[in-house]
């Protein structure tokens, strides 16, 4: 049941209280209320996703950033980006970041999951993740034979996943170049099969032309209206409280929260009889832990907060992937430049039939490449990837127009998938409404710089395939040549950005490890009553986009929680 005021809550004790109705939180809300005797409350800071039109239309994704549905975080000045501060979006809406993200569905590699599989959190690809997936046909209903491998997909899960339903002229070029070059660029029938290397068709969390988020899938009408589920939107958790009077191991089952629009009005508290679950995301979860005195005791005390659990790893180890967009002009006649009139036409088509360019996101292929084993870089650095089926870099191609003719420009996105730079999240102050200090340490490591340079040169090699000849591609604001090491470094520092895949601020570690925030069963170390389930628990970023791994973690966590209490 969706609620927007504390006074509408019938009780202040629930079996489970989940902070954050985001990508992971919505999964838990659904799975834990499958037991009708368990009463579950979700506290979500953002508004409901219902009737947020731009979140429903896949192709309007860019309009959700810097909107009321985005927390609008900014990093501190990044030395690796020549002192620039960059925007870090996060979903501030039911469904969390799955309601505002790019909708790419990338499971990453099977060895990424093996590496996450510390003891109990044994994620099996695709078993755990596939509970999330509801494979469906693309919006345009085209024949998808040869565009994915049905052996790896599940039609009976929750979140719609489909290949793109809006073809572009550039698609044929990408495939032809892949065929001509082979090797690193060979066609991969399905990069969500556990082996992701090569170039293949994108898979998107889109069903019947609409975004499928954790909110539309796991909190759709037949779930959110369960009488044992209350979803309180517009309320922000500000502190976790210790309810043990006896001293000793803290019991962290009570959470304090306020209505976002009236932060100085009443402060409310609810208690979980069984567990309090933090699913507030890589930024929200770590900030809430620190605000509660859970973190490095000296650091929290310096902000005027009484230390509660000394866990110095809270807010450390934050890992995000560097990103670079490069544009290429086409030296041919007959290209299409998207205009307002075209956009209106596309919108009308979407409104009428849920088809057309806005039923997709502009990227129809992704490429996944490894830095070769014989690269001299490996004599200096350890390979940060989880295994030999795992890429170091990703390319995405956006052809600029959904038309028989190509767009006037081709945009390529490059991502360094396995960064070794590690950042931090720290409190700015004890005020829960002040954004934390977010330092993602982009391009601090020389290996991360090398990886991005490798991505640029690999992309240039791809564009040397004869398939591209008749497009007469010319780079717009191009990076310097390969042999200009310093110029390339400067270019990356001036134009590098975030892929928005941060993880690791409340990382999982082995049970008796002297570092880490949660045990492999995702319970907070040195306390009882509290689990963390979201992207913050990932000690490494998986080699791809992070929503599919978050679904897998949340589904697995739901099973662990059910096993503990049923
Ligand atoms: C712009 C963008 C594009 C992306 N594109 C892709 C993509 O195409 N494919 C992909 O796989 N991944 C993508 N990602 C990453 C991916 O979506 C996220 O890693 C993932 O969804 C995170 O899930 P989560 O459950 O950890 O957090 P979230 O989904 O962010 O959930 C956290 C929830 O907690 C709420 N919250 C936070 N603090 C509080 C508090 N104190 N009290 C109450 N509620 C609180 C938030 O409002 C939010 O709803 C993208 C990310 C961004 C930002």
Residue 323's φ and ψ, nearest 5 degrees, are: -140, 145
Cα 376 to ligand 1 centre (Å): 37
Question: Which atom from ligand 1 is nearest to the alpha carbon of 544?
Answer: 11
3-state DSSP assignment of residue 482: coil
Question: Which atom from ligand 1 is nearest to the alpha carbon of 214?
Answer: 29
Whether the predicted pLDDT of 428 surpasses 50: yes
**Parallel, antiparallel, or unpaired for β 235-241 and 254-259?**
antiparallel
Whether the predicted pLDDT of 19 surpasses 50: yes
Which residue has tokens 């509408």?
8
Instruction: Tell me what pLDDT residue 397 has.
Output: 95
The string of pLDDT tens digits covering residues 475-525 is 999 999 999 999 999 999 999 999 999 999 999 999 899 999 999 999 999
Q: What is the rounded distance in angstroms from the CA atom of residue 318 to the CA atom of residue 507?
A: 9
3-state DSSP assignment of residue 409: strand
Q: Closest by alpha carbon to 432, among 234, 300, 291, 268?
A: 291
Instruction: Tell me what pLDDT residue 361 has.
Output: 95
Q: What is the rounded distance in angstroms from the CA atom of residue 397 to the CA atom of residue 41?
A: 41
Instruction: Tell me what pLDDT residue 456 has.
Output: 98
Whether the predicted pLDDT of 126 surpasses 60: no
CB atoms < 10 A from the CB of 373, how many? 8
The string of pLDDT tens digits covering residues 71-101 is 999 999 999 999 999 999 999 999 999 999 9
The rounded mean pLDDT for the chain is: 95
> Any catalytic annotation for residue 403?
no
Lowest mean pLDDT among 262-276, 347-361, 411-425: 262-276
Cα 98 to ligand 1 centre (Å): 6
Whether the predicted pLDDT of 432 surpasses 80: yes
Instruction: Tell me what pLDDT residue 134 has.
Output: 95
Q: Which residues are near ligand 1 (CB < 6 Å)? A: 19-25, 43-46, 65, 89-92, 96-98, 100-104, 106, 236-237, 279-282, 284, 288, 500-501, 534-535, 545-548, 550
Question: Which atom from ligand 1 is nearest to the alpha carbon of 25?
Answer: 25
Contacts of 403 (CB under 8 A, 6+ apart): 168, 169, 336
| CB burial of residue 126 (10 Å; 0-12, 13-18, 19+) | buried
Q: What is the rounded distance in angstroms from the CA atom of residue 434 to the CA atom of residue 437?
A: 9
* Range 262-268 average pLDDT: 86
Q: What is the rounded distance in angstroms from the CA atom of residue 248 to the CA atom of residue 308?
A: 11
Residue 345's φ and ψ, nearest 5 degrees, are: -65, -45
Annotation: binding site for FAD: 97
Whether the predicted pLDDT of 447 surpasses 50: yes
- Contact indicator for 314, 286 with CB cutoff of 8 Å: yes
pLDDT band at 118 (very low <50, low <70, confident <90, very high): very low
Closest-CA residue, ligand 1 atom 47, reads: 92
Contacts of 499 (CB under 8 A, 6+ apart): 320, 321, 322, 323, 415, 545
The string of pLDDT tens digits covering residues 280-338 is 999 999 999 999 999 999 999 999 999 999 999 999 999 999 999 999 999 999 999 88
* Range 271-286 average pLDDT: 98
- Contact indicator for 230, 217 with CB cutoff of 8 Å: no
Instruction: Tell me what pLDDT residue 121 has.
Output: 45
Question: Which atom from ligand 1 is nearest to the alpha carbon of 89?
Answer: 53
Whether the predicted pLDDT of 130 surpasses 80: no
Q: Closest by alpha carbon to 503, among 323, 316, 342?
A: 316
CA angle 121, 122, 124 (to 5 degrees): 135
> Percentage of residues in the chain with pLDDT exceeding 90?
91
Cα 535 to ligand 1 centre (Å): 8
The string of pLDDT tens digits covering residues 43-71 is 999 999 999 999 999 999 999 999 999 99
CA angle 203, 205, 206 (to 5 degrees): 100
* Range 430-446 average pLDDT: 98
Q: What is the pTM of this model?
A: 0.97
Please state whether the peptide bond connecting residue 126 to the residue before it is cis, i.e. omega within 30 degrees of 0.
Answer: yes
Instruction: Tell me what pLDDT residue 125 has.
Output: 43
Q: Tell which phi-psi region holds residue 448, choosing left (phi > 0), alpha (psi between -120 and 50) or beta.
A: alpha
Cα 205 to ligand 1 centre (Å): 14
Q: Closest by alpha carbon to 343, among 359, 329, 357?
A: 357
Q: What is the 3-state secondary structure (H, E, C) of 529-546?
A: CEEECCHHHCCCCCCCCC
Which residue has tokens 């065929």?
179
ipTM of the complex: 1.00
3-state DSSP assignment of residue 181: helix
Cα 479 to ligand 1 centre (Å): 32
Question: Which atom from ligand 1 is nearest to the alpha carbon of 94?
Answer: 49
Q: What is the largest CA-CA distance in the chain?
A: 78
Q: How many residues does the chain have?
A: 566
Q: What is the rounded distance in angstroms from the CA atom of residue 45 to the CA atom of residue 257?
A: 9
For a pocket test of ligand 1, which of 6, 23, 278 has the largest count of ligand atoms closer than 8 A to its C-beta?
23
For a pocket test of ligand 1, which of 49, 91, 538 has the largest count of ligand atoms closer than 8 A to its C-beta?
91
Whether the predicted pLDDT of 115 surpasses 60: yes
More confident residue, 401 or 458: 458
Q: What is the rounded distance in angstroms from the CA atom of residue 386 to the CA atom of residue 378?
A: 14
Handedness of CA 506, 260, 256, 426 (dihedral sign): positive
The string of pLDDT tens digits covering residues 389-415 is 999 999 999 998 777 889 999 999 999
Domain boundaries, the chain: 2-51+215-318+503-565
Cα 16 to ligand 1 centre (Å): 21
Instruction: Tell me what pLDDT residue 464 has.
Output: 97
> Any catalytic annotation for residue 365?
no
Instruction: Tell me what pLDDT residue 127 has.
Output: 56
Whether the predicted pLDDT of 173 surpasses 70: yes
Closest-CA residue, ligand 1 atom 50, reads: 101
- Contact indicator for 68, 186 with CB cutoff of 8 Å: no
Annotation: binding site: 97
Superfamily of domain 2-51+215-318+503-565: FAD/NAD(P)-binding domain (3.50.50.60)
């Amino acid at each position: 049941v969706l609620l927007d005021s504390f006074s509408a809550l019938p009780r202040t004790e629930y079996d489970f209280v989940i902070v954050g109705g985001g990508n992971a939180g919505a999964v838990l809300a659904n799975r834990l209320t499958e037991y009708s005797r368990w009463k579950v409350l979700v506290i979500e800071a953002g508004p409901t996703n219902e009737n947020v039109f731009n979140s429903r239309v896949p192709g309007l994704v860019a309009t959700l950033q810097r909107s009321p549905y985005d927390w609008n975080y900014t990093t501190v000045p990044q030395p690796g980006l020549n002192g620039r501060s960059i925007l870090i979006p996060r979903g501030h809406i039911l469904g969390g970041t799955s309601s505002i993200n790019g909708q790419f569905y990338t499971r990453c590699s099977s060895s990424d999951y093996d590496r996450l599989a510390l003891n109990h959190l044994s994620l099996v690809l695709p078993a755990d993740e596939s509970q999330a997936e509801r494979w469906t046909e693309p919006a345009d209903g085209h024949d998808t034979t040869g565009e994915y491998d049905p052996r790896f997909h599940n039609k009976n899960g929750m979140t719609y996943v489909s290949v793109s339903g809006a073809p572009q002229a550039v698609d044929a070029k990408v495939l032809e170049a892949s065929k001509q070059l082979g090797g690193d660029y060979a066609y991969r029938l399905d990069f969500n099969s556990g082996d992701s290397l090569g170039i293949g068709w994108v898979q998107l969390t889109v069903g019947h032309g609409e975004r499928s988020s954790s909110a539309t899938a796991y909190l759709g009408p037949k779930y959110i209206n369960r009488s044992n589920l209350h979803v309180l939107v517009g309320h922000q958790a500000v502190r976790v409280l210790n309810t043990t009077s006896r001293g000793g191991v803290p019991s962290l089952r009570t959470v304090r929260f306020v209505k976002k629009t009236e932060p100085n009005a009443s402060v409310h508290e609810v208690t979980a009889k069984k567990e309090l679950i933090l699913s507030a995301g890589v930024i929200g979860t770590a900030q809430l832990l620190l605000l509660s005195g859970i973190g490095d005791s000296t650091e929290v005390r310096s902000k005027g907060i009484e230390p509660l659990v000394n866990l110095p790893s809270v807010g450390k180890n934050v890992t995000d992937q560097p990103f670079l967009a490069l544009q290429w002009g086409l030296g041919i006649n007959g290209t299409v430049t998207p205009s307002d009139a075209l956009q209106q036409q596309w919108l009308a088509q979407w409104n009428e039939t849920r088809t057309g360019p806005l039923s997709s996101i502009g990227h129809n292929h992704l490429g996944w490449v490894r830095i070769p084993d014989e690269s001299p870089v490996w004599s200096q650095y350890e390979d940060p990837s989880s295994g030999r089926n795992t890429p170091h870099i990703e390319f995405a191609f956006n052809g600029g127009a959904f038309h028989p003719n190509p767009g006037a420009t081709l945009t390529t996105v490059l991502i360094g998938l396995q960064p070794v730079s590690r950042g931090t999240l720290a409190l700015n102050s004890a005020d829960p409404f002040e954004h934390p200090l977010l330092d993602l340490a982009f391009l601090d490591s020389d290996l991360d710089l090398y990886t991005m340079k490798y991505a640029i040169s690999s992309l240039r090699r791809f564009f040397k395939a004869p398939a591209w000849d008749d497009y007469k591609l010319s780079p717009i604001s191009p990076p310097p040549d390969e042999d200009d090491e310093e110029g390339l470094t400067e270019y990356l520092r001036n134009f590098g950005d975030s892929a928005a895949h941060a993880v690791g601020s409340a990382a999982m570690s082995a049970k008796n490890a002297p570092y880490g925030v949660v045990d492999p069963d995702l319970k907070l170390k040195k306390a009882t009553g509290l689990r963390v389930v979201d992207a913050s628990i990932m000690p490494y970023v998986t080699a791809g986009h992070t929503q599919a791994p978050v679904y897998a973690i949340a589904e697995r966590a739901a099973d662990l929680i059910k096993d503990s209490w049923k």
